[in-house]
Amino acid sequence: MLRWFLDGTRLAQLAADNRIGRSTAYRYLHEGIDVLAAAAPGLRGALLAARAAGHAHVTVDGTLIRTDRCAAPGPTARGDRPERRVDLWWSGKRAAHGGNIQVIAAPDGWPLWTSPVRPGREHDTTALRAHAGALPLLAEWTDATHAVLADLGYEGERAAPTTPIKHPGGRQLTGDQRTVNLLHAATRGPAERGNSLLKTTFKALRRVSLCPWRIDAITAAALVLLHHQHGRTT
């Protein structure tokens, strides 16, 4: 399990090294992923722990976990061939196939929670809305002393996440508005570390060759391993 997560070792190599069949290696891998993912924190628990740790804010950000599985037609027609459909897992923003994972992180960018996977074609706001209870829990966290910071990808959900002020068409932002955006960016900036920390620590998250719907369990398992490795949850 550790070799697969940390080094991205191929299952054929792991099977040969352990003198087991390839199908047995896959079974062991999926069982291990499920056991680890089951220990991952839920969003409510993660937010309660963040409040107990004294965090004044948390951040939410989406990341694309790339995959090489791309045979699921989505609802969008291709511009060059209208009779064909754009693949469900194709992210036009990243120009790659993958799954959208939402990550809640502490002020220093330490990942606290990872969401179930959504197809890569979905916008961050759409992906967050798809997770039942996520927005109500983030709204519940938000009060006069606690905030949820997000980028402009979540501008449609201002009830919970605090986003930068969008540049108005044909007009310049005022000095006060630019200052607010600079402070927001400086405060939220370390959150980018959460996504990169998971991907740089675990090569398995750089490109998933298993079923794309398994990306959420793989990411949750990686989060549990990261917390265990550093002895830190919040």
- Residue 234, pLDDT score: 92
Q: How many Cα atoms are found within 13 Å in the side-chain-facing hemisphere of 189? A: 7
pLDDT band at 72 (very low <50, low <70, confident <90, very high): confident
Q: What is the dihedral of CA 214, 231, 8, 106, to 10 degrees?
A: 60
Q: Is residue 218 part of a domain?
A: yes
Q: Is residue 30 part of a domain?
A: no
Among residues of the chain, what percentage have pLDDT more than 90? 76
Q: Is residue 199 part of a domain?
A: yes
Q: Is residue 25 part of a domain?
A: no
Region 102-111: mean pLDDT is 96
pLDDT band at 71 (very low <50, low <70, confident <90, very high): confident
Region 158-166: mean pLDDT is 86
In 3D, which of 71, 63, 90 has the Cα closest to residue 79? 90
Residue range 13-32, pLDDT digits in tens: 999 999 999 999 999 999 99
Beta-sheet pairing, 147-149 with 161-162 = parallel
Whole-angstrom distance, CA of residue 104 vs CA of residue 46: 9
- Residue 215, pLDDT score: 97
Q: Is residue 10 part of a domain?
A: no
Residue 156 reports pLDDT greater than 80: no
Residue 131 reports pLDDT greater than 80: yes
Residue 83 reports pLDDT greater than 70: no
Residue 84 reports pLDDT greater than 80: no
The answer to whether 151 and 164 have CB atoms below 8 angstroms apart is yes
- Residue 124, pLDDT score: 92
Residue 67 reports pLDDT greater than 70: yes
Q: Is residue 33 part of a domain?
A: no
Q: Which residues of 140-151 are buried (b: 16+ CB within 10 A; e: fewer)?
A: ebbeeeebbbbb
The answer to whether 65 and 205 have CB atoms below 8 angstroms apart is yes
Residue 125 reports pLDDT greater than 70: yes
Mean of all residue pLDDT scores within the chain:
92
Region 97-101: mean pLDDT is 95
Domain that holds residue 174: 39-230
Q: Is residue 17 part of a domain?
A: no
- Residue 81, pLDDT score: 75
Q: Is residue 216 part of a domain?
A: yes
The answer to whether 62 and 101 have CB atoms below 8 angstroms apart is yes
Number of folded domains in the chain?
1
Region 86-95: mean pLDDT is 87
Q: What is the DSSP letter of 71?
A: -
How open is the CA angle 46-49-51, to the nearest 5 degrees?
110
Q: What is the DSSP letter of 166?
A: P
